[in-house]
Structure 1
Amino acid sequence: MSRQKFDLLSFTGKMRILHLTWIAFFLTFVVWFNLAPMLQALRNSLGLDQAQVTTLLVLNVALTIPARIVIGALTDLWGPRRVYSGLLIVSALPCFAFAMADSFTQLALARLAIGFIGAGFVIGIRMISEWFPTEELGTAQGIYGGWGNFGSAAAAFTLPGVALWIGGEDSWRWAIGLTGALALIYGVVYRAAVRDVPEGRTYFRPRTATAMQVTSKTDLLLLLAMKLPLCIALGALAWRLREVELLSSAVLQAVCSGLLLLFLCDTMLTLRANRLVLTGEVPALERYSFRQVAILSTLYFATFGSELAVVSMLPLFFAETFGLSPVSAGVLASAYAVMNLMSRPGGGWLSDRFGRRPTLLILTAGLAAGYAAMGLIGADWPIWGAVAVAMACSVFVQAGEGAVFAVVPLIRRSLTGQIAGMAGAYGNVGAVVYLLVYTLVDTATFFFVIASTAVLGFVALLFLEEPSGEISEVAADGTVTRIRVGLRA
């Protein structure tokens, strides 16, 4: 692959793939977050109460937890081109269903299904890692993530205006349905316009896609422990649905039993996929440190998890705190997400230039301070002050996300989709946890809780190793085929 100049204005070679892929990610976020700016109109149209509104917010991010694990594995197995296009096309269907819903139950089921599109992020992580060299990877991943995440801001400040232009009680339906149509069309375009790897390169697949492979017994235990919170978060969601009487007690028990069975089955598959670890010793050249995956997942819990939660509630928070209209509140709240355009690429660039670990330490400390400041926002604040604090906080949050995924592709290329899926799933676990907290406490406490978890992430970061050295990349048949930069085992 030629090392062409990193020129954002170019639309050829690797830059063409970057642009086409961030646009795909952008559209997934437009669809995923078309709910927040429409909440007031939707609530008035269908007469929803506050408990139902907050439940929809939690449902919006719930299914993305298992979806990111599944989509990550499918990406490694089938390639990002087919998986991304398929996800965009299929996810348009629940989007249309949500736009046509006329009861809370229909809204809840459609919103739960729409959450699957949030898994699109991990697909692009693998695609970008195939097209860019290591020294540009942090910047490229930051641009992909940041410009794609901007879809939530675009939804916040455009959809209320679209609904106002259409007019009428059902205008919110047309605005949301439009986002599904865009995803459907672009899914077809993306499949025809990209390829998984540059010409002449091999697409490395894992030996098995049923479970992530690790290279030591300690890492195997850590992997199993890391999967337990994913099931607990889904159980907490089921409990929330019982609280708003969307599920009966019998169904709640069945869901919890099913989650336990799912965890046991997944444990068996994980043990089967890692038989070599249990029966022998993995060759030194094939080892990698899964502990780094756990640390990065913890950080993504605090960074992306908090962003999802805050983006979901911020328009309504601004509207209720300062007495704003839906359009005004949506525009102001979008200031939090709009920083993605610069912050997330900036986090990746800083990581490429100054090192992964130092950059993450500084950014995590900043986001903890930022959320503590947001917890002080009240009706006596000037609106410009509240917006300024939200924007400053978002800089650290989103730059931290970019810095996290400047490390993820450097762990093991053939497992990039699964590793990104694990870290991404923890981002959604964070969103579910934070939004459940939001349903139980006041807004100030909500922000202080996020700040506290960021401090825990900072402590975990102290054990992260700076990427260095060289490790082998192993093909699906077990052949050692090339050497690349990676993380010390």
Structure 2
Amino acid sequence: MQDQPGIKLLSFSGKMKILHLSWMAFFITFFVWFNHAPLLAVIGDSLGLTGAEVKTLLILNVALTIPARVIIGMLTDRFGPRNTYAALLAICSLPCFMFAFATDFNTAALSRFLLGFIGAGFVIGIRMVSEWFPANELGTAEGIYGGWGNFGSAAGAMSLPMLALWFGGEDGWRYAVATTGVMSLIFSVIWYKNVSDTPKGSTYFKPKQTGAMEVTSKGDFALLLIMKLPMYGALALLTWKLSPNGVSMLGAETAYAIYLGLGALYLLEAYQAFKVNRSIFTTPVAPEHQYKFKQVAVLNVLYFATFGSELAVVSMLPLFFADVFELDMVYAGMLASAYAFMNLASRPGGGWLSDKFGRKRTLMILTAGLAAGYGLMAQIDSSWPLALAVVAAMACSFFVQAGEGAVFAAVPLIKRRLTGQIAGMTGAYGNVGAVVYLTVLSMVSYSTFFLVIAATAVLGLVALLLMEEPKGEITEVREDGTVELIRVG
């Protein structure tokens, strides 16, 4: 399957070429997704936005990513990572240009909402990398993909203000944002011309049916429906924040209509899931073709606590340092960026530890460290030396981001043909976590906010007791009916 053993970072051929192009694609999606964040002040002045409207743009930017990650996961499994990533990068350049040249709040809001779709690009590369790397290298490879790609948001924060100044004038920010759209469009072509879904001679396994995730037992079907609920709950929470109870972007009647629509969509999705999985209620699935959906559920909970907390903490950490230590926002933002910088090494480190010491054991240790880390951050106050507070934040971020790497070291080892959908659902749970944590932050103190994250990490630790270490082989059936065994541990 692989052209050479081991991961050689300086190589740009075979599987390493695929890994490098994959993290570059992911890097660009995050560069585009968060291209507004470092320019918000000048964008607000340029468009004449109120404080509430600026906050609304932040909410809208993540709203669509929850369902988008599930949809993109399905499209990836059906059409392959090559086609899906190329299409996503090309199509999402359009709302990027739309935002760059918006002249009013409504246009800016619609384009930011649509740009939430590019945040789903992450799940495509998870499937691509899993096709090219064997199980004993997969955690490290997925960690490099996730960690280096995720750095796109930090790179944007550092480079886009300088780019806007270089363009100069009142429209400098517009050209800077538009430049990210051009990057996305160009790379979609580079990606399409330089990758293939699998190594030569390997089979790309597709789901037997599309439209919903396949499960292999009645109990797993019930668990699937339960695990869908928090995603709809998060979208309802976002609606509530946009309603008159929050920033009043939506009228009360519109909000109620969305609540009803979300309820109807959940019922429709439940029916679709039943249609796809109808056979399990009459014909038991052969043991060798079964997989345990509880594995997916546990990873969902863990990604809620890891990536969910990262998104939330990255959003609030500059303000936290500024308020607690009475710093100016520029200095506070520089200190807070240390949290995101850890991604370059931490996420690959979590994947490497999983390859070396086992998926479950690594997740247990990292989740315990995450709970302890946020418990420590809850104790930070103005009496702490500033340097010690920054060190505590960086130590906590190591466990958060290494935990993310460890989660996605396990995701591709559950069921190969469903990897995109599983990655999509788990990735969506990260966004669900961010919505929940940021909502909590709007109601409580910083200390309580960190303690709530620590408590959910403890819940993740309990859920981990139900997880089984991936081992042996998973069975997939080729289109010609022959069976292939894929080693997972």
TM-score interval (norm. to shorter): over 0.9
Give CA deviations for 1:67-115 in whole Å, capped at 9, x if unaligned.
Answer: 0100000000000001001111111122222222333333322211111
* Deviation of 1:443 (Å): 3.0
Q: Which residue of 2 aligns with 1:427?
A: 430
> Is 1:4 the equivalent of 2:7?
no
Of stretches 354-363 and 430-439 in structure 1, the one that deviates more from structure 2 is 430-439
* Deviation of 1:467 (Å): 1.0
Q: Which residue of 1 aligns with 2:137?
A: 136
Q: Which residue of 2 aligns with 1:244?
A: 247
Q: Which residue of 1 aligns with 2:256?
A: 253
Name the CA distance, whole Å, in 2 between partners of 1:455 and 1:111: 34
Of stretches 26-35 and 439-448 in structure 1, the one that deviates more from structure 2 is 439-448
Matches within 5 A, 1:150-169: 150-169=151-170
User: Is the Cα contact below 8 Å between 1:96 and 1:180 reproduced in 2?
Assistant: yes
User: Is the Cα contact below 8 Å between 1:297 and 1:422 reproduced in 2?
Assistant: yes
Give CA deviations for 1:196-247 in whole Å, capped at 9, x if unaligned.
Answer: 1111111111111211111100000000111111111111111111121211
Question: Partner of 1:350: helix, strand, or coil?
Answer: helix
Name the CA distance, whole Å, in 2 between partners of 1:162 and 1:374: 34
1:485 to 481, 484, 487: 487
Name the CA distance, whole Å, in 2 between partners of 1:43 and 1:385: 34
Q: Which residue of 2 aligns with 1:36?
A: 37
Q: Which residue of 2 aligns with 1:466?
A: 469
> Is 1:448 the equivalent of 2:451?
yes
Matches within 5 A, 1:37-436: 37-242=38-243, 243-319=246-322, 328-378=331-381, 381-436=384-439
Distance 1:37 1:238, change over 3 A: same
User: Is the Cα contact below 8 Å between 2:82 and 2:192 reproduced in 1?
Assistant: yes
Q: Which residue of 1 aligns with 2:15?
A: 14
Name the CA distance, whole Å, in 1 between partners of 2:319 and 2:109: 19
Question: Partner of 2:469: helix, strand, or coil?
Answer: coil
User: Is the Cα contact below 8 Å between 1:206 and 1:476 reproduced in 2?
Assistant: no
User: Is the Cα contact below 8 Å between 2:2 and 2:199 reproduced in 1?
Assistant: no
Question: Partner of 2:485: helix, strand, or coil?
Answer: strand
Q: Percent identity?
A: 61
TM-score normalized by the length of structure 1 = 0.94
Question: Partner of 1:405: helix, strand, or coil?
Answer: helix
Unpaired runs of 5+ residues, structure 2, are none
Give CA deviations for 1:162-208 in whole Å, capped at 9, x if unaligned.
Answer: 33444444433333222222112111111111111111111111111
* Deviation of 1:471 (Å): 3.0
Question: Partner of 1:274: helix, strand, or coil?
Answer: helix
Name the CA distance, whole Å, in 1 between partners of 2:393 and 2:30: 20
Distance 1:193 1:305, change over 3 A: same
Q: Aligned-pair RMSD on alpha carbons?
A: 2.0
Distance 1:443 1:42, change over 3 A: farther
User: Is the Cα contact below 8 Å between 2:135 and 2:488 reproduced in 1?
Assistant: no
Name the CA distance, whole Å, in 2 between partners of 1:17 and 1:165: 33
Unpaired runs of 5+ residues, structure 1, are none
Give CA deviations for 1:356-410 in whole Å, capped at 9, x if unaligned.
Answer: 1111011111112222333344455554333322221111111000000111100
Question: Partner of 1:273: helix, strand, or coil?
Answer: helix
Of stretches 410-419 and 439-448 in structure 1, the one that deviates more from structure 2 is 439-448
Name the CA distance, whole Å, in 1 between partners of 2:350 and 2:278: 38
Of stretches 328-337 and 15-24 in structure 1, the one that deviates more from structure 2 is 328-337
Distance 1:313 1:254, change over 3 A: same
Name the CA distance, whole Å, in 2 between partners of 1:94 and 1:375: 39
Name the CA distance, whole Å, in 1 between partners of 2:173 and 2:383: 31
User: Is the Cα contact below 8 Å between 2:2 and 2:133 reproduced in 1?
Assistant: no
Of stretches 323-332 and 361-370 in structure 1, the one that deviates more from structure 2 is 323-332
Distance 1:434 1:106, change over 3 A: farther
Of stretches 309-318 and 154-163 in structure 1, the one that deviates more from structure 2 is 309-318
User: Is the Cα contact below 8 Å between 1:233 and 1:433 reproduced in 2?
Assistant: yes
* Deviation of 1:454 (Å): 1.2
TM-score normalized by the length of structure 2 = 0.94
Distance 1:235 1:444, change over 3 A: same
Distance 1:301 1:232, change over 3 A: same
User: Is the Cα contact below 8 Å between 1:36 and 1:312 reproduced in 2?
Assistant: no
Give CA deviations for 1:115-157 in whole Å, capped at 9, x if unaligned.
Answer: 1111101100100010011111111111101111111211222
Distance 1:422 1:446, change over 3 A: same
* Deviation of 1:436 (Å): 1.9
